[in-house]
Structure 1
Amino acid sequence: MGKQEVNKHTWKMALSEQKERKPEDILRDFRASFFSMNRLASFNWTFLDNELQSNKSSEFISELLKQTCLHPLCGKFPPSVRFRRIFLSELIKREAAGCDPLDELYDALAQVVGVEETPLCHKSYFLPSGDAVSLLENVAVISEGTTGLVTWEAALYLAEWALENPQVFTGRSVLELGSGVGLTGITVCRSCSPVRFVFSDCHATVLEKLRENVRLNGLGGGKSPSVTVDQLDWTTAPEEQIRRIRPDTVIAADVVYDPEVAGSLADLLLKILKCSAAAEILICSTIRNPETYGGFKLRLEAAGLGHQVLTGPVGAVFPYNRLAPVELIKVFRVQDA
């Protein structure tokens, strides 16, 4: 069974399981999808419609509001104005067809109607512990000449993999390449007990947002783990900088999307392994363009690097599009294999 078929099978299984889920589970799912600004089409509206038809009561919508727009986290780290407006409009449409009007629903909508949209928003992702990783992101997928100001599927997948494989990070010094807004790294810091974590990127605006998100989630400031945010240019990074970091584990997510940077990344990974031979390198990619991704693997081979695809089920912790093919590989020097 191919990777895409596995993802489709997983998605169908998840939909099947939803049919037998309890109201409190559905409320938790709505909360997770709302705060991560997941696609509205992915919400379990069928359960809501059935609930309203069965009970003719607004009680479930009232509870739903408490878990979303009226949740304390929404006051502190709100999703975008447009997303909240559309979400509330969807609730009102269904409430009008199934039960009596709920004043607090219309009050919540009144708070976002007419409010000007900003280029920034917050997305929050709930960890198994119940705590949330909250990130300041750009609303637009591409802004200020970079795609690094939003969270991508491979970052979410790698974070889920890390939650299931904490031993790869526990007690180790970890370097993340192309950290973006920081979802994977912050999850590792909050849940996997590294002794040191180095976030890195090369884009000035991304680094600024990354530092803000690190602070937002209570990392740094002398707390454990030791956390730094470094500028790291793959084409010019000196060996001295790599030796200073001396990582035990290196991770990267959704960094293989541009053929022009594939060679620079391969050269950097070789440099890291020369400076820190025992480093464990994990690269996670959403395969949007098989030709580009295949080209990256050829550049690894040309640099004397091999790779192993890491397979196996990964628990669904965060809501995101699981139909997108994602691959996680471990990179190593061929002579060390």
Structure 2
Amino acid sequence: MDLQLPSNDQVMDAGQATLCDTFQRDFLCCRRIGSLPWKELDQELTLEPPLALCILKKTINHPVCRKYPPSLQYRRLFLSELIKKHERTGAEPLDDLYSALAEVLNSEDPAVCYKSYCLPTGDLVTLSENVAIVSEGTTGLVTWEAALFLAEWAIEHNDIFNNRMILELGSGIGLTGLVICKSCFPKKYTFTDCHQKVLQQLKDNIRLNGFMLEEEHSVTSENPTTLLSVTELDWESVTEQQLLNLDADLVIAADVVYDPEIVTTFTKLLKQLFHYTKAGKKMEILVASTIRSPETYRLFQRTLDDTGLRWQVLPDHKRNIFAYDRNCTVQILKVTLQV
């Protein structure tokens, strides 16, 4: 998907062009409207229209938005705020802004909406969300900060993921795994979750991003060596045979340690994965967590200790790629088996 700018951007300075890029990144992934760089826009907007028109072209009118639009409400709120900002400059009304708003207001609310995340390569990871089931109570339909954090970390440390047999626990709708598959080129990637509707949404998102599942006997043209599969995995009832079939040498998980009630079950599963690693393979486990409750996080660390697992906090990555709340604390633990 081409994210190149329209031709009239060349009349803007570098700071304004960067601001347009930021609006595009934040808009396509549906970052909270109030978190978009409106204050920076106030400082840049003048009576001349190119900046407002550039933002419009890189967001609402961009081919990615046309093909994979965010929710109708999100687009309406975004346009309303952009028009408000332009009007405050005292400039002449821009027909393009009002035409875009009219089009949105006259559209029917679709059952499916999309979030698109821009990769450093210029490629995208696009996720579809079924509006009707987001409210059904499964956290697997939410993209959490640690998933984005781990995805950024993987891009910066792609050598750790390249040509590996990766198992992801609690994949949700697939953001982290799809970023890794597009950026790090693992040998095999197994997505897992336990909620049926999440699994179906996950399969849809894999296909949406140009991949096909291993059992469909096809792979992406971009990365012909990666095999992708989706497996139902219930941590409480997992069997020995299921663990053997997973066949991984790198296990990752993001934002799964948020509830004290699942800490013991999750930690037990990690211990089992070490014991059921196929002969000759050395297992590595990385767990990324947003520390919303320090007590729950300390409980997880103590439970790892009590289970005979060692852990260490890995250094943060340096490059910020995705838009999310960076005021929250996210850590990645490398978990190993005590010997």
**Normalising by structure 1, what TM-score?**
0.89
Q: What amino acid is aligned across from residue 269 of structure 1 in structure 2?
A: L
The answer (yes or no) to whether the contact 2:156–2:317 under 8 Å persists in 1 is no
1:326 aligns with 2:330: yes
| Residue equivalent to 2:87 | 96
The answer (yes or no) to whether the contact 2:244–2:276 under 8 Å persists in 1 is yes
The answer (yes or no) to whether the contact 1:35–1:125 under 8 Å persists in 2 is yes
SS of corresponding position for 1:211: helix
The answer (yes or no) to whether the contact 2:60–2:75 under 8 Å persists in 1 is yes
Name stretches of at least 5 consecutive residues in structure 1 with no aligned partner: 1-19
| Residue 253 of structure 1, CA deviation | 0.3
Q: What amino acid is aligned across from residue 245 of structure 2 in structure 1?
A: R
Q: What is the distance in 1 between the residues matched to 2:289 and 2:177?
A: 16
Which of 306, 310, 316 is the equivalent residue of 2:314?
A: 310
Moved more, 325-334 or 306-315: 306-315
Q: What is the distance in 2 between the residues matched to 1:166 and 1:83?
A: 33
Q: What amino acid is aligned across from residue 192 of structure 1 in structure 2?
A: C
Q: What amino acid is aligned across from residue 297 of structure 1 in structure 2?
A: Q
Q: What amino acid is aligned across from residue 201 of structure 1 in structure 2?
A: D
Describe how 1:105-120 pairs up with structure 2 within 5 A.
105-113=97-105, 115-117=107-109, 120=112
1:31 aligns with 2:24: yes
Q: In angstroms, what is the RMSD of aligned CA positions? A: 1.8
Q: What is the distance in 2 between the residues matched to 1:25 and 1:51?
A: 12
1:245 aligns with 2:246: yes
Moved more, 221-230 or 69-78: 221-230
Describe how 1:1-40 pairs up with structure 2 within 5 A.
22-40=15-33
CA shift in 2, pair 1:68/1:240, >3 Å: same
Q: What is the distance in 2 between the residues matched to 1:287 and 1:44?
A: 26
Q: What is the distance in 1 between the residues matched to 2:317 and 2:14?
A: 21
Q: What is the distance in 2 between the residues matched to 1:108 and 1:270?
A: 54
| Residue equivalent to 1:49 | 42
| Residue equivalent to 2:53 | 62
1:184 aligns with 2:205: no
Q: What is the distance in 2 between the residues matched to 1:21 and 1:157?
A: 27
Q: What is the distance in 2 between the residues matched to 1:52 and 1:185?
A: 38
The answer (yes or no) to whether the contact 1:124–1:135 under 8 Å persists in 2 is yes
**1:104-123 C-alpha deviation (Å, 9 max, x unpaired):** 11111012225454564211
Q: What is the distance in 2 between the residues matched to 1:271 and 1:246?
A: 13
Which of 72, 78, 84 is the equivalent residue of 1:87?
A: 78
**Normalising by structure 2, what TM-score?**
0.88
Q: What is the distance in 2 between the residues matched to 1:259 and 1:133?
A: 32
1:71 aligns with 2:62: yes
1:294 aligns with 2:285: no
Q: What is the distance in 1 between the residues matched to 2:259 and 2:108?
A: 34
Q: What is the distance in 2 between the residues matched to 1:257 and 1:116?
A: 36
Describe how 1:148-227 pairs up with structure 2 within 5 A.
148-220=140-212, 221=216, 222-223=218-219, 224=224, 225-227=226-228
The answer (yes or no) to whether the contact 1:88–1:109 under 8 Å persists in 2 is yes
CA shift in 2, pair 1:87/1:169, >3 Å: same
CA shift in 2, pair 1:59/1:164, >3 Å: same
Moved more, 92-101 or 159-168: 92-101
Q: What is the distance in 2 between the residues matched to 1:82 and 1:145?
A: 21
The answer (yes or no) to whether the contact 2:153–2:316 under 8 Å persists in 1 is no
| Residue 312 of structure 1, CA deviation | 3.4
CA shift in 2, pair 1:141/1:295, >3 Å: farther
Q: What is the distance in 2 between the residues matched to 1:254 and 1:312?
A: 16
**1:59-103 C-alpha deviation (Å, 9 max, x unpaired):** 111111110000000011111111110110011111112221111
The answer (yes or no) to whether the contact 1:254–1:285 under 8 Å persists in 2 is yes
CA shift in 2, pair 1:286/1:161, >3 Å: same
Q: What is the distance in 1 between the residues matched to 2:139 and 2:334?
A: 24
The answer (yes or no) to whether the contact 1:125–1:318 under 8 Å persists in 2 is yes
The answer (yes or no) to whether the contact 1:57–1:100 under 8 Å persists in 2 is no
1:137 aligns with 2:141: no
The answer (yes or no) to whether the contact 1:171–1:193 under 8 Å persists in 2 is yes
Q: What is the distance in 2 between the residues matched to 1:259 and 1:118?
A: 37
SS of corresponding position for 1:307: strand
Moved more, 133-142 or 206-215: 133-142
**1:115-169 C-alpha deviation (Å, 9 max, x unpaired):** 4545642110000001110001356996323111021100000000000011111
The answer (yes or no) to whether the contact 2:255–2:290 under 8 Å persists in 1 is yes
Give percent identity, aligned residues only: 46
